[in-house]
Amino acid sequence: MQQTENMQIAYIGLGANLNEPQKQIEKALLAIGSLEKIVLQVCSSLYRSSPMGPQDQDDYINAVCRIHTTLTPEELLNELQQIELSQGRVRKDERWGPRTLDLDILLYASEQINTPRLTIPHYGIKQRNFVLIPLCEIEPELIFPDGKHIHELLESVGHQGIEKL
């Protein structure tokens, strides 16, 4: 699908720290790009970051990509969760534990969604430099639905604990 007419812009955060995380991210990008109703526009560089939560796990590899899609946010979530499952993601009650792949819808157009299953903008986006830094790399003039500019948010979180690969 190459047309971008009537398509929405969405940003997806990618993260992994198990089973060759860099390859997990690369494989996920190929899977996202092959989905119907999605055009993968651009992906950030890869970044290494310290884990949130339990520190007895490997560092994460993170990236952000921008897509154009005609999928609804819920349909997009379903597709992303299928990719996670196909790459060995096991959902556990443990928050911020190790994982083969984590795909998060960070932003979808200028929508603000808060349902039991989906929160857009992603609930932690404004506090996570491992999301904001790659997001800023691909969209340096981004303004969030609440009017905040990405550079304002970056100033508040800093660059500590993250390394561009």
pLDDT at 4 over 70: no
Q: What is the mean pLDDT of residues 26-33?
A: 96
Q: Inform me whether the pLDDT recorded for 95 exceeds 60.
A: no
- Choose between 100 and 66: higher pLDDT: 66
Residues with catalytic function: 89, 99, 102, 104
Given pLDDT bands bounded at 50, 70 and 90, which one contains residue 160? confident
Q: Which residue has the higher pLDDT, 140 or 93?
A: 140
Determine the pLDDT at residue 77: 96
For 8-123, CATH gives 3.30.70.560
- Could you tell me the pLDDT band of residue 1, with boundaries at 50, 70 and 90? very low
What count of other Cβ atoms lies within 10 Å of the Cβ of residue 4? Answer: 13
* pLDDT of amino acid 71: 96
What does the alpha-carbon distance between residue 9 and residue 110 come to, in Å, rounded to a whole number?
9
What is the pLDDT at residue 68? 97
Q: What is the pLDDT of residue 93?
A: 55
State residue 6's pLDDT score.
81
- Whole-angstrom distance, CA of residue 60 vs CA of residue 52: 9
Domain spans of the chain, in order of start: 8-123
Q: Which of 51, 52, 68, 69 is nearest to 60 (CA)?
A: 51
Of the candidates 48, 43, 110, 102, the one whose C-alpha atom is nearest the C-alpha of residue 73 is 110
Give the tens place of pLDDT for each residue, 41-93. 999 999 999 877 666 678 999 999 999 999 999 999 999 999 998 887 666 55
